[in-house]
Amino acid sequence: MVGRSLPGWLVAAILAAVLVVAPFVLPTIGANADMLSRILIWGIFGLGFDLIFGYTGLLSFGQSAFYGSGGFLAAYLLVSGKIGDVFLGLAVGTVGGALVGLVIGALALRRTGIYLAMITVAFGEMFFFLENSPLSAWTGGENGLPNVPKPAIHLGPIDFAFNTDWRMYGFIAAIYFLGFILARRIVNSPFGHILTAIRDNAPRARAVGHAVQRYKLAVFVIAAAYAGLAGGLEGVLQGYMAPDAFTFDTSGQLVMQTIIGGPATLFGPLIGAAVWLYLRSILQVVGFGPAWKLVLGLVFVVLIVFLRHGIVGGILQFAGRRTTPEAIPTSSGAQGLHLVERVAERPATRGDVVLEARGVGKRYGGIIANSDISFAVAEGEIRGIIGPNGAGKSTFFKMLTGEILPTAGRIFLFGKDITGNDVTAISQQGLSKSYQINQLFQKLTVRQNLNISALSRTRGKFRLDLIRHVDEVPELNADVAETLRLLSLTERADAPVSELAYGEKRRLEIGLALGTGPRILLLDEPLAGMSPQERADTVKLLKQIARGRTLVIVEHDMDALFGMADRITVFNEGHILAEGTPAEIQANPGVQEAYLGGVHAA
Amino acid sequence: MTQYMKQGGGLTRRSALLSGAGMLGASMLPPLSRMAFAADYPPLGNFPDGASGSSVFVGIDVPLTGTYADAGADEQKGIELAIEHLNSGDPLIKNISPKTSKGVLGKQVTSGVADEQAKAAIAVQNATQFITDNKAMVVIGSVSSATAVALNHLAQDKKVLYLPGISGSNDTTGKDCTRYSFRACHYAYSASAAIAPVLLSALGKDRKAAYLTPDYTYGHTVYDSMTKFTEAGGWKTVTNQLAPLGAPDYSAFLLNIANSGADVLVNIGFGNDAVNSIKQAKQFGLLDKMTLVMPYLSPFLAKQVTPELMQGVYGTTEFWWTYGDKDPIAKQFVDAFQKKNGYNPEWGAHAGYLQIALWANAVETAGTFYPPEVIKAYENGEHIKNSTLGDIWWRAADHQLVRPVFVVKGKKQADMKGPDDYYDIVDVIPGEGLMQAPDAFGCKLGDPT
Amino acid sequence: MLNWGNFSSQLFNGLVSGALLALISAGLTIIYGTLGVLNLAHGALFMLGGYAGFVAYQSTGSFVVAVVVGAVFVGLVGVILERVLIRFFYERPEEDQILVTFGLGIVLVEVVRAVFGSLTQNVPAPAWAAGVTSLGFMIYPTYRLLVFGIVAVALAALYLLLYRTRLGMVVRAGIEDPTMVDALGINIQRTFMIVFGIGAMAAGFAGIVNAPIISITPNVGDDILIECFVVVVIGGVGSFAGAIVGGVVAGEILSLTSMFNPSYSAVMLFAVMALVLVARPQGLFGTR
C-alpha cells in the first residue's frame, strides 16, 4: 500500500498541497475546473472501489448501481424540494447508496471471482432499466433530472454559495480529501488488514477465525456509500443528474481507471481518472475523434499485461518501494504475557475430555471416507494419528475443524456439540489447524501473517473497527513478537512469504494456527518435506507449544511422533484400527499388517 | 437567480477592456459593435469575453458514435456549411439573415466539435467545456431529446444560447423549455398534426392502429400526439408496444402487434431502433399485412433499411432535398451541400444550417452578442420570408420556430431517379396550423438574466 | 384474459431467440469451464462475426459464404488471441483474466468502429429463406426458423464434439482437472487453444447468423454479452446443458414478459437471475 512507507500526516499534507495547487497549474495544460471536479468525483467513486477491489480482491462490474442510486436519490430530493440543504441531500444519497449496496451485496457476495463479476454486471444493468422505465416518474427516465441546486452555506453571518466552477472544485476537493483520509484509516485499521488477508487467501482467513462474509459485506457497503456520494456530487456539479450514471459503461470506466492508475494504492483511481478524462479531451481536440476509446483500451490492455500495478504501482516499484503492506514497527519491550503462559492461565482440569468424536462418518455417494469414528482427546494430551495414505485422516481433521460436514455422528468440543458449526465459529471456540499444504497469506510478510491470526483472537470474528490504527490493538505487537520468538522467525519478521525457505514457511504455517490462541491445535503432517535438522527443531517447537495445550498430530514420521505423543490412534480404510500408547501400537500386529501387508514371524 | 460571475462589475470590466489587449480588439471592431459596447451591457454568460476578439466560437455538440452517429455527423456538416457561408458572406445565407455581410457582427465564426456519444452527461460535459474553455457564444447540436433537454437547462444555467438540432419530444419547447434555447425543427405534435390528415385521407377513417413506441419521453409524446389526431379522425388504437430504447430484438413486440388485429403499424422508433424494428417487421410479414407509418422519420432510414421496405410508407421529415425542385432557395442549399459533401443533405444537416443562419440573423438584429438582447431579437416575431422553407418565424412564448412540416411517402425502387431519391414529397404543410397552444405543454421560460 | 394465440406465438418465439442465446452462451461457458477464463470479449467476438460475414457478403453476394467466413474468421481470431494473450493469464488471478478480456473486448469494438464507422450495416437474409412460413397457429419469419434449425444443429455438433470425440473427452477432463491431464502427457496447451477457438467460433457464427435479424453496429455485442451472463448464471457456469436450458429460459422470460409489460422484460430477466442466486447460487446445472 502506498503511503505506508510515508507517515500519514505527510501523505495528507502532500495531497492537500496538490489539491490546492492544481487550480493554478493544471489549467495551463488545458484542464479546466469542470474537468478537475469530474476527476475528483471519479476519484471519490474510486476510493470505495479500490477498497473492495484493490484491497479485498472483489471485482465488481456493477458499482454504477450505487453511484446512480445515491445520485438520483439526492437529486430527486433536492429537485423536488423535499430537502433544501444540498449537504443533507448528499448525505441522504450516500446512505441510500450504502443501503442498495447492502441489499445487492447480500445477494452477490455469495459468490466470488467470476460469478461475482457477472452478477454485479447484471445488477447494474437491472438498475439501469429500473431507472429508465418503471421508476421514470421519479428519475425522469432517459431525460434525467435537471435543475439540481448547488450547495450553499447559510450559517448566521456566513452566506456562501458554491456557484462558480472553482468554488465547486474546492467543495469537491475538500470532500475528496476527507474521503481519502477516511479510506486510508480504514486501510490501516485491523479491519483493513483483514481485507488484505481475504484478498490473499480467503479460506485461511476464515479458518483463523474471521467472519469473512461479514467483512466482505461491510466493505462492499462502504464502497457503495462512496459511490452514492460520488453520484450525488455529479448531479450537483452538473446541475443535472444523467441516467448514464447507471450504465455498464460507468462501471466499466471505473474499473479501467483503477487499473490504469493502480489498484490498492487509493490514489490509483484518481490518477486513472485524470489520465482518462484528460486524454479523451486532448485526443478529441487533436482530431483523433472517436478513436480515443481505442487508444485508452489499448493502454488498458497493455497495463494489465505488463504493469499490473498500474501507473502509481509502477512508479512505486521503480522507486524501490514495495506495493505490499509495510511492516508495523514493534514496540520495544514486550508488554504482553507469554502466549504459552497465558493459555495455561485458563482454568483446566487435566484429564477432561476436550475433543470428542462419536460415531462420526463421512460418505461421498458410494465412497466411504470415514466410518464410525469414535475418538476422544483429553486436556493437555498430545495425540498422534497415523495411518496409510487414503485412510481418511485428513477427512477426519476437516470434520473436526468444520470444513466438512459429517454424514454421521457428532463432534464435541469442551463438551459442547459443534457438529455442523462452520470453521470460523470453531476457530473462535478454541480449535485450530495447521495445514498439510501451506495455506499462508502469500503477499504479506511473516509479521502480517501472524497479525491476521492474532487479530481474530483479540477482536473476535468480526469487528467494525475502521478508524483505529492496527498498532492500537492492545497487545497485538507483543503477542506477535512472542509468537515470532517461539517460531524462531524474529529475524524474518518483515520478509514477504515468497522469500521464505520451505522450513520457515512450515513454521509460519504452525504459527498461523497458533496465533489464534487455540486450546486445541490440530497439526496435519507438520514435518512433511523437512530435512532431519528441521524436523528436530520442529519437534522441539511442538513440545514447547504443547505446554498448556492439547495437540492432535497427523504424521508419517513415526520416530518423531512416537517420541512426542502420549497416545496414538491408527486409522485404516476410513475407520480406527487401533489406539494406545506408542509402545502398544508398535507391537500391534494389526497395525503392522495394515502398513506392511503383514509381518510374518521370521 | 445565480449569475455566472467570472469577474467583478461592469465598470471594472470596461476599464480593463479599454486597456491592453482589449484596446486592440476593440479597435478592430466595426462601428456597429463599438456602438454595442457603448450601450454598456453588463457581463453575462460568455459576454463580452467570448465576443471581444475578432472571432466568436460556436460549440458543436453532436453524437459521432453510438446509435445516432449518422444523424449527428450529418448535422455537423450542415452546421459547418452555415458557418462557412457566414464567414464568406455567401448569398444563400443572406436570404435567412439579410443583415449579414461577413461573419457575425463582422467577427469570423470559429467552431469545434465534440462527440456526445448520445449520452446526456457527456453532452453536458462537452458543452461546459465549450463554454468555459472556448468561450462559446452559442452551443448547437442534438439528436436525442434527452441531450437537448439537458443542454436546455445547462444553457439557462450558464447563460449561453443553445440550439437543438434534432429533437422530437414535445418537452423540448414544452415543460423543459428555457429562455436560452430555441428549437427550429418540427416535433411530435406538429409532425402528428401534419401527417394525420394525410393518413386519414389516404388510408381512410376506419383503421386499427398498432403503435411501436420507444419507451422514453420522445416516444411517449409522439404516441400521445398521434393518437390524439388519428383517434379524432376515427382510427382505433388497438395496442401500444413499448420497446426499451436500443432493444435489438423486436420479435416479441411484433408478435403482439401481429396478433392485435391492427392494419396500420405506427412506428415511432428512431435511429437504429427504427432500422431494426422495420427490418424485423418485414421478416415477420407484418409489412405485407399492415401499412407502415413513420410519424417522425429518422435521417438515413431509407438508405439503411433499403428502399424496398420504405415503399409506400408515409412519414414526416423536417426537410427533404427534392424540395429544391420547388423552391429555388432550398435548391441553393441542397446544391451547396451536395457540392461540399458529396451527398444530398438529410434533415439534421438542414436543421443545423437553419439554426446557425437564424442565430446570425438574431444577433445582427440585436446589434450585440449580449444574450438578453439576442433573445429579444429572437422573440420579436419578425418573419423571415425567404428561408429554405419559405416564410418562417419564431414563437416568443415557447421559442419554437413556426415552420412547415414535410409529409413524404416512400418511393418504389423502380421510380427512384437517383441514389438518394427515396421519397416523394406529398405535401409541405405550413406550421401555423400545426402547433399547440404555447402553454399546452407547460412551458415556462426562465429569466434572461 | 390471456390471448392464447398470442401466448403460443410468444412461447415459440422465446424458444427461437433463446436458442440463439444458448449458442452464444455455450461458447462462453465452454471457454470458462475448460480454461477457467471468463471471456468478456465474447460479445465483441459475436460482433466481429457479423462484420466478417458482412465483408464476405459484400464481395461474394453469397450468404452461405458469409456464414462460413464469419465463423471461421472469428475462430481464427480466437486462436490467435489465445496464443498471443490469453494463455499468459492462466496462472494469473481470475480477476486479471476478466480484466484482460474486458479490455480486449473494448479494443476489438473500437477497431471495428475505426474501420467501418458507427453506421449500421446491412446483411440481408438469403432470398431462399426470406418471407414467412405458416406454422398453423402463427405466421413466423422463415429466416428465424432457419436460424433455429441452424442453431440446433450447431449445438448438436458441439455436443457431439464434447461428448463423443477424444478431443471432447480431453476437454471435459481438462474442465475437471487440468493438472492431471497435463501430467498424463496430453498437450493441454493445444487443447486450450482449440477450445478457445471453438468457443470464439460459436460466438462469431451466432453473430453472422443473427445479422439479418439485427443490424450490425460495433456495439451490437454489448447487450448480448450481458444477456449471456444472465444465461450462464441461471444455467450454471461450465455446464453445456445449463447454457441451453438457461438460454431457452432467458428467451422465454423476455418473450412472455413482453406480453404483459414490455418495459419490464429486461428487469424481469435480471430479477429471475437474482432469484436463482438466492435459491441455488450454482445455477440449475452448475456444480461449482
Question: Does residue B442 belong to any structural domain of this protein?
Answer: no
Four-CA torsion B71, B75, B78, B80, nearest 10 degrees:
-130
Do A190 and A303 sit in the same domain of this protein? yes
| pLDDT value at B94 more than 80 | yes
At residue B23 the predicted structure's pLDDT band, cuts being 50, 70 and 90, is: very low
Q: Which among B5, B115, B119 is the nearest to A289, CB-wise?
A: B115
C-alpha cell at A45: 467513486
B284 vs chain C: nearest CA distance in angstroms?
5
Contact C219 B244 (CB under 8 A): no
With 70 as the cut, is the pLDDT of residue B234 above it?
Answer: yes
Strand pairing class (A550-554; A240-241): unpaired
Strand-strand pairing, B208-214 and B138-140: unpaired
Chains with ≥3 Cβ pairs under 8 A against C?
A, B
Which pLDDT score is estimated for A272? 93
Per-residue pLDDT at B32 exceeds 50? no
Residue B6 in this model has a pLDDT that exceeds 50: no
With bands split at pLDDT 50, 70 and 90, how would you rate the model's confidence at C119? confident
Query: Are A101 and A223 in a shared domain?
Result: yes
Q: Is residue A357 part of a domain?
A: yes
Only one residue has cell 467470476, namely A114
Which CATH number belongs to the domain containing residue B281 in this structure? 3.40.50.2300
Query: Would you state the pLDDT for residue A134?
Result: 76
HEC per residue, chain C = CCCHHHHHHHHHHHHHHHHHHHHHHHHHHHHHHHHCCCCCCHHHHHHHHHHHHHHHHHHHCCHHHHHHHHHHHHHHHHHHHHHHCHHHHCCCCHHHHHHHHHHHHHHHHHHHHHHHCCCCECCCCCHHHCCEEECCCCEEEHHHHHHHHHHHHHHHHHHHHHHHCHHHHHHHHHHHCHHHHHHCCCCHHHHHHHHHHHHHHHHHHHHHHHCCCCCECCCHHHHHHHHHHHHHHHHCCCCHHHHHHHHHHHHHHHHHHHHHCHHHHHHHHHHHHHHHHHHCCCCCCCCC
* pLDDT above 70 for B406: yes
From B386, B402, B418, the end of a domain falls on B402
Q: Is residue B126 part of a domain?
A: yes
Residues B265 and B311 in one domain: yes
If interface means Cβ-Cβ distance under 8 Å, which residues of chain B face chain C? 64-67, 69-70, 215, 241-244, 246, 248-249, 251-253, 255-256, 258-259, 272, 275-276, 279-280, 283-285, 288, 300, 304-306
Encode B78-96 in three state secondary structure.
HHHHHHHHHHHCCHHHHHH
- Determine the length of chain A: 602
Confidence of residue B183 (pLDDT cuts 50, 70, 90): very high
Which percentage of chain B shows pLDDT scores above 70?
A: 91
What does the pLDDT read at residue B38?
46
**Contact check, Cβ <8 Å, C100/A301:** yes
The shortest CB-CB distance from A107 to any of C98, C230, C274 is to: C274
Q: Which residue has the cell 468444520?
A: A402
Range(s) of the domain holding residue C52: 11-220
- Touching subunits for chain B (3+ Cβ pairs under 8 A): A, C
Chain A environment of B150 (Cβ under 8 Å): 143-144, 146, 240, 242
- How far off is chain A from B284, nearest CA to CA, in Å? 27
Task: Determine whether the interchain pair B70/C214 forms a contact, defined as Cβ–Cβ distance below 8 Å.
Answer: no
Higher pLDDT, B442 or A43: A43
Tell whether A26 is covered by a domain: no
Judging by beta carbons within 10 Å of its beta carbon (0-12, 13-18, 19+), is residue B73 exposed, middle or buried? buried
Comparing B25-39, B309-323, B365-379, C232-246, the range with the smallest average pLDDT is B25-39
Per-residue pLDDT reduced to its tens digit, A370-426: 888 999 999 989 999 998 888 889 899 999 999 999 999 999 999 899 998 999 999
* Winning range, highest mean pLDDT, from A47-51, A144-148, A542-546, B68-72: A47-51
First to last CA, chain B: 8
Assess whether pLDDT exceeds 70 at residue B11: no
Same domain, B354 and B421: no
Q: A318, A335, A368 — which closes off a domain?
A: A318
CATH of the domain at A574: 3.40.50.300
For residue A276, count CB atoms less than 10 angstroms from its CB and return exposed for 0-12, middle for 13-18, buried for 19 or more: buried
pLDDT in tens, C15-47: 888 998 899 999 898 888 777 788 999 999 999
How many whole angstroms separate alpha carbon B113 and alpha carbon B390?
A: 30
Residues 30-69 of C with CB under 8 A from B: none
User: By mean pLDDT, which of A310-324, A420-434, C102-116 is the weakest?
Assistant: A310-324
- What confidence tens digit (pLDDT) does each residue in A18-40 have? 999 999 988 888 788 888 999 99
The model's pLDDT over B273-313, given as tens digits with 9 standing for 90+, comes to 898 899 889 888 889 889 999 999 999 899 888 888 899 99
CA distances from B65 to B71, B124, B313 (A): 10, 16, 28
The verdict on whether omega for the bond into residue A496 sits within 30 degrees of 0, i.e. cis, is no
Highest mean pLDDT among A241-245, A328-332, A410-414: A410-414
pLDDT score of A597: 63
Q: C258 and B253: CB-CB below 8 Å?
A: yes
Question: Which residue has better confidence, A321 or C106?
Answer: C106
> d(Cα A553, Cα A11) in Å, to the nearest integer?
48
Residue B62 DSSP SS3: strand
Q: What is the pLDDT of residue B3?
A: 30
Q: Which residue has the cell 494463455?
A: C87
Confidence (pLDDT) at B16: 37
Residues A314 and A218 in one domain: yes
Does position B40 have pLDDT exceeding 60, yes or no?
Answer: yes
| Bridging pattern class, strands A550-554 and A575-580 | unpaired
Neighbouring residues of A272: CB distance < 8 A, sequence distance ≥ 6: A42, A46, A256, A257, A258, A259, A260, A261, A262, A310, A311
Residue A547 within a domain: yes
Q: Do residues A51 and A156 both lie within one domain? A: yes
What pLDDT does A520 receive? 94
A436 falls within a domain:
yes
Model pLDDT, residue A340 = 42
Q: Which domain holds residue B379?
A: 10-186+327-402
**Pair (B272, B386) in one structural domain:** no
Give the model's confidence band at C125: pLDDT under 50 very low, under 70 low, under 90 confident, else very high: confident
Predicted confidence (pLDDT) per residue in A48-104, tens digit: 999 999 999 999 999 999 999 999 999 999 999 898 899 999 999 999 999 999 999
Same domain as A398, residue A298: no
Domain membership flag for residue C47 = yes
Q: Judge if A174 and A274 occupy the same domain.
A: yes
**Per mean pLDDT, which range of A177-181, A245-249, A469-473, C81-85 is the poorest?**
A469-473
The answer to which of A91-95, A585-589, B266-270, C109-113 has the lowest mean pLDDT is A585-589
The pLDDT-based confidence of B362 (bands split at 50, 70, 90) is very high
Which among B149, B157, B245 is the nearest to A239, CB-wise?
B157
In this prediction, residue B5 has a pLDDT band, given cuts at 50, 70 and 90, of: very low
Q: Is residue C262 part of a domain?
A: no
- The string of pLDDT tens digits covering residues A470-516 is 888 878 888 899 899 888 899 989 899 989 988 889 999 999 999 99
Strands B314-317 and B291-294: parallel
B258 vs C contacts (CB less than 8 Å)? 9, 138-139
User: Is A217 part of a structural domain of the chain?
Assistant: yes
Q: What are the cell numbers at A376?
A: 476422544
Domain count, chain A: 2
- Do B23 and B130 share a domain, yes or no? yes
DSSP class of B181: B
Same domain flag for B247 and B146: no
- Shared domain check, B387 and B241: no
Q: How confident is the model at residue A336 (pLDDT cuts 50, 70, 90)?
A: very low
B91 and B236 both lie in a single domain: no
Nearest-neighbour CA in chain A from C8: distance (Å)? 27
Do B165 and B356 meet the contact criterion of CB atoms below 8 Å apart? no
Q: β-strands B405-410, B314-317: how paired?
A: antiparallel
A437 lies in the same domain as A540 = yes
Residue B322 domain-assigned (yes or no): no
Chains that touch A (3 or more CB pairs under 8 A): B, C
- The answer on pLDDT for A352 being more than 80 is yes
Contacts 24+ apart (CB under 8 A), B377-382: B378/B182
Give the pLDDT band of residue A291 (cuts 50, 70, 90). Answer: confident
* Minimum Cα–Cα distance from B71: chain C residue: C119
Tell me whether residue C184 is in a domain. yes
Confidence tier at A586 by pLDDT (50, 70, 90)? confident
3-state class (DSSP) for residue A553: strand
pLDDT of residue B26: 42
Q: For residue A121, list chain C residues with Cβ-Cβ distance below 8 A.
A: 226, 229
pLDDT at B202 over 90: yes
pLDDT at B446 over 90: no
Structure confidence at residue A268 (pLDDT) = 92
What's the gap in Å between the CA of C44 and the closest CA on chain B? 15
Q: What integer pLDDT is reported at residue B41 of this predicted model? A: 87
Q: Is there a contact between A146 and B149 if contact means CB atoms under 8 Å apart? A: yes
A81 and A213 inside one domain: yes
What is the model's pTM?
0.85
Predicted confidence (pLDDT) at residue B393 exceeds the cutoff of 80: yes
The answer to whether residues A313 and A425 belong to one domain is no
Range of the domain at A155: 8-17+36-318
C11 and chain B: CB distance < 8 Å anywhere?
Answer: no
Question: Domain for residue C240, yes or no?
Answer: no
For residues B177 and B192, membership in a common domain is answered with no
Q: Tell me if B84 is assigned to some domain.
A: yes
**One domain for residues A530 and A420:** yes
The set of residues, in sequence order, having a beta carbon less than 8 Å from that of A528 and lying 6+ positions away, is A436, A506, A556
C238: left (phi over 0), alpha (psi -120 to 50) or beta: left
> Do B283 and B414 fall into the same domain?
yes
Last residue of a domain, one of A295, A318, A341: A318
As a whole number, the mean pLDDT across chain A is 86
B75 interfaces chain A, CB cutoff of 8 Å:
no
What's the mean pLDDT when you consider all of chain B? Answer: 87
Please name every residue paired with B405 in a beta bridge, in sequence order, or none if there are none.
B429
The answer as to whether B443 is a domain residue is no
Q: How confident is the model at residue B15 (pLDDT cuts 50, 70, 90)?
A: very low
Cα distance between residue A132 and residue A125, in whole Å: 11
CA distance C40 to chain A (A): 10
Closest CA to A444 of A390, A511, A382: A511
Q: Nearest Cα to C208, choosing from C60, C104, C55, C76?
A: C55
Whether residues A393 and A268 fall in one domain: no
- State the total domains in chain C: 1
Q: Determine the distance in angstroms separating the CA of C141 from the nearest CA of chain B, rounded to an integer.
A: 5
Asked if residue A131 and residue A258 are part of one domain, the reply reads yes
The more confident residue out of C137 and A293 is A293
Is the pLDDT at A1 greater than 70, yes or no?
A: no
- Is the pLDDT at A330 greater than 50, yes or no? no
pLDDT at C132: 81
**Any domain includes C140:** yes
pLDDT at B1: 30
Of A459-463, B379-383, B396-400, give the lowest mean pLDDT range: A459-463
User: What's the DSSP call for residue B133?
Assistant: H
pLDDT number for residue B291? 94
Amino acid at A498: S
Res. C12 pLDDT band, cuts 50 70 90: confident
Q: Is there a domain that residue A331 lies in? A: no
Q: Report chain C residues whose CB lies below 8 A from the CB of A364.
A: none
pLDDT in tens, B67-77: 788 899 999 99
* Res A331 pLDDT > 60: no
Residue A14 has pLDDT above 80, yes or no: yes
Confidence of residue A5 (pLDDT cuts 50, 70, 90): low
Please check whether residues B182 and B196 belong to one and the same domain: no
pLDDT at A344 over 70: no
Look at chain B and report how many structural domains it folds into: 2
- C-alpha cell belonging to residue A570: 491408527
